[in-house]
Amino acid sequence: MGISGRAGGPCVGWVNSGRQGFPPGVWRAYGHGVWTIRLGGDLMSRRPARVLAGLVGALVVATVLVAPPASAAVSAQSLLDDLTTSAESHTTTYDRDDFKHWVDADGDGCDTRAEVLKQESSIATGHTGTCTITSGRWTSLYDAASFTSAGGLDIDHMVPLKEAWISGAWDWSATRREAYANDLGYAKSLIAVSASSNRSKSDQDPDSWLPPDTSYRCEYVKEWIAVKWRWSLRIDSAEASALRSGLSQCSSLSVDQPSKA
C-alpha cells in the first residue's frame, strides 16, 4: 500500500486490481494490483480532520479488502520450538483401556473409526449395519498401499496412545484421554493406514520408527510435531533430535495449523 499526495486530485482515493468498483468522488478505486491511498494536498491543508478521518477509514477498508485469507498453515519448526523436552515417564503404568475409543461423540451412529474412514476415502464409502464402513478408496500414506476394502486398514493415532501417556497424558483426566483417543478436531491426529504398517509402528516415536514410504517422512514428522503441540505433550531428547533431523530434510516446513486441545 502506498500513500502519496496529488494536487487537485480527490482528497482520499485508493486503487485496487480494478476488478472491484467503487463510487467516484472522495473515495475512489482504480489501479493495477496494489491498493494505494492518495491525499490531495489542497484538501489536506484545508480540512485536515476530515482528511485524517478519511485516511483512517481508507486504511481500515483497504486492510480488510487486501488482507490475505487467514493462514491455515504454520511452521512446524515454530511448533517444535514451543514443545517442552523432558524424559518419558510412567512407562510401566500405561494401560490402553485408559483411553476409551472408538466412541461416537456426535451421536450420528458412526464411531471414530468410521468417521476417519469416511473422511479419508476419495470416493463415497459403503457400509453395513448402521455405520460399519466396508468399501471406499484409500491410500495408506505410511507405505503407499492402496485399499478398496476397509478391512485392511487400521486407524492409527499419529502419536500413539502409549507415547501420549509417557509424554504427559498419564496426568490427564479420563475425559481428556477419551477426547485424545477420538480426536476428530485435527485431521492429522488420526490416520487410516495399512494394518501392517500400523503394527510395525506400534508405540514407537520418530526416534525409532519413520514410515517406510520415504516420500511421506517429512509430512509425517511435521504432523507428529503438530499433534504433540495440539495436545501440549512433551518430547524426550532423542525424539527431539529425530524431529529436528527430520525437519532438516523438508523442502517446506509448513503444516496445517492445529488448535490447542
Nearer to Ca ion, 81 or 106 (CB): 106
Tell me if residue 153 falls in helix, strand or coil.
strand
Q: Determine the interface stretch with Ca ion among 154-162, 181-189, 197-205, 224-232 (rule: CB under 5 A).
A: 197-205
User: 103-115 burial, b for 16+ CB within 10 Å, e for fewer?
Assistant: eebeeeebbbbbb
Conformational region of residue 202, where left means phi above 0, alpha means psi within -120 to 50, and beta covers everything else: left
Cα gap 88→241, rounded to integer Å? 15
Q: Identify residues 222-241 at the interface with Ca ion (CB under 5 A).
A: 236, 239
Is there binding between residue 202 and Ca ion (CB under 5 A)? no
Is there binding between residue 156 and Ca ion (CB under 5 A)? no
Counting residues that bind Ca ion (by CB under 5 A) gives 7
Residue from 110, 117, 145, 227 binding Ca ion (CB under 5 A): 110
Give min distance, CB of 210 to Ca ion, in A: 13
| CB-side neighbour CA atoms (13 Å) of 125 | 22
Residue from 108, 149, 202, 214 binding Ca ion (CB under 5 A): 108
Nearer to Ca ion, 167 or 194 (CB): 167
Please give the grid coordinates belonging to residue 128. 453395513
Residue from 42, 98, 104, 143 binding Ca ion (CB under 5 A): 104
Helix (H) or strand (E) holding 55: helix 48-66
Give min distance, CB of 117 to Ca ion, in A: 12
Helix (H) or strand (E) holding 126: strand 126-128
Where do contacts with Ca ion occur on this chain (CB under 5 A)?
Answer: 104, 106, 108, 110, 205, 236, 239
